Amino acid sequence: MSGFWNEAEAKLAEQFLRDGYVIQAADDPSSLDRIQTLIADLAGDFLGEPPSGDCRVFLDHVHQKVTADRVNDLRLHVIQGMNSQAWLRHAYFTTARRTIETIVGNELCMQRRVNLSVQLPGDESSVLASHADVWSGDSPFEVVLWIPLVDCAGTKSMFLAPPAIDAEIQARLASHGSVERAFSHYQDQVRFLDIPYGHVLLFNQNLMHGNRLNTTGETRWSMNCRFKSIMSPYADKKLGEFFEPITLRPATRLGMTYRLPEGFDEE
Ligand SMILES: O=C(O)CCC(=O)C(=O)O
Ligand SMILES: [Fe+2]
């Protein structure tokens, strides 16, 4: 790392490059608690049963109140409700601002909608097969901020291929014939991430990742949202459509709108 980094930044940057992710305590736990309460309240609306007591316990045990055939409707109800709150994306960003600024930059755009995953124990329908977002239209310059609303570990969490293993997987994908076959071959080498509530995960979506059948006795609830440097190259997901600038700096604003005058002599 260049000598221009301070020690804490250099450590974080090295960790992200080495492991493909960093997990940190939320910068602002009260923002995260506010989001968790909103989501539990929205789930309570859908179920016709307001959360009583600890939101985390309520969310962990949602499978006792909803069947697998209604879980996607529950998810859509909550996504719609959370994204209609004007404060949500700011609160989301606030949980990890310093980390994102170190890993991505301080001039950022953010995905317009925050996504939500809900995985009931034993529910095959919510399994998200192995993939890398960059294989289907995301720019390789994006990172994902993934935030659990309950404690996540093992099959209640997501897995990520460590960079060295991922390089081998991607180099041999064609010979494996399918991503699922590649996953089967490497399943003992991917890492299921342990992320307790109150922590946030920032990961490199160019690495193979996904989840498996939740074989724990609790429901998984997590959110994900993409960030990239505004001036970095875009793929299918465009600025203004999928992404929105959140910290555009004045010099860039001036540069983007400047028009060179024409038809004069500089002397
Ligand atoms: O939540 C998961 O298990 C996977 C999330 C994912 O694929 C993503 O955020 O890009
Ligand atoms: Fe993904």
Characterize the bridge pairing of strands 108-111 and 159-160: unpaired
pLDDT for residue 232 is more than 80? yes
Q: How far apart are the first and last CA of the chain?
A: 44
Q: What is the pLDDT of residue 1?
A: 61
Longest pairwise C-alpha distance within the chain: 79
Is pLDDT above 70 for 65? yes
Residue 216's pLDDT is what?
Answer: 98
Query: Which residue in 231, 244, 219 sits closest to 156, CA to CA?
Result: 219
Give the per-residue pLDDT at 181: 92
Residue 45: per-residue pLDDT: 97
Our answer on whether the CB atom of 144 is closer than 6 Å to any ligand 1 atom is yes
Position 266 confidence tier, pLDDT thresholds 50, 70, 90: confident
Dihedral class, residue 185 (left if φ above 0, else alpha if ψ from -120 to 50, else beta) = alpha
**Looking at the predicted structure, is the pLDDT value of residue 171 above 90?**
yes
The full DSSP string for 59-123 is HHTGGGT--GGGHHHHHHHHHHHHHT-TTHHHHHHHTSHHHHHHHT-SSEEEESS-EEEEE-TT-
- Give the angle subtended at the CA of 196 by the CAs of 90 and 184, to the nearest 5°: 105
What's the whole-number mean pLDDT along residues 144-166? 98
Neighbours of 93 (CB within 10 A): 21
Per-residue pLDDT averaged across 178-187, rounded? 92
Q: Which amino acid is at 83?
A: N
Ligand 2 centroid to Cα of residue 205, in Å, is: 6
Mean pLDDT of 142-164: 98
Instruction: Report the amino acid identity of residue 16.
Output: F
Percent of the chain exceeding pLDDT 90 equals 97
Question: Domain limits of the chain?
Answer: 11-231
What integer is the mean pLDDT of 210-226?
98
Q: Which atom in ligand 1 lies closest to the alpha carbon of residue 157?
A: 3
Closest by CA to 194, choosing from 224, 156, 163, is 156
Q: With beta carbons less than 8 A apart as the criterion, state whether 21 and 163 touch.
A: no
pLDDT at 3: 82
- Which tens digit of pLDDT belongs to each residue from 106-147? 999 999 999 999 999 999 999 999 999 999 999 999 999 999
| Shortest-distance atom of ligand 1 to CA 131 | 7
Q: How distant, in Å, are the alpha carbons of 36, 123, 124, 150, 202 from that of 199?
A: 13, 25, 27, 10, 10
Residue 2 has pLDDT above 80, yes or no: no
**What's the pLDDT score for residue 15?**
98
Q: DSSP state, 241?
A: T
Q: Which residue has the tokens 């920032």?
A: 202
Q: CATH classification of 11-231, choosing from 3.40.50.720, 2.120.10.30, 3.40.50.2300, 2.60.120.620?
A: 2.60.120.620
Q: Tell whether the model's pLDDT for residue 225 goes beyond 80.
A: yes
The pTM score is: 0.97
* Mean pLDDT computed over every residue of the chain: 96
Please answer whether residues 161 and 189 qualify as being in contact, where contact means their C-beta atoms are separated by less than 8 angstroms. Answer: yes
Q: Round to whole Å and give the CA distance between 190 and 14.
A: 20
pLDDT band at 246 (very low <50, low <70, confident <90, very high): very high
Name which residue sits closest to atom 7 of ligand 1, judged by CA.
210
Q: Is 75 in the pocket of ligand 1 (CB under 6 A)?
A: no
Q: Under DSSP, is residue 183 helix (H, G, I), strand (E, B) or coil?
A: helix
Closest residue CA from atom 6 of ligand 1: 210
pLDDT at residue 112, as a whole number: 98
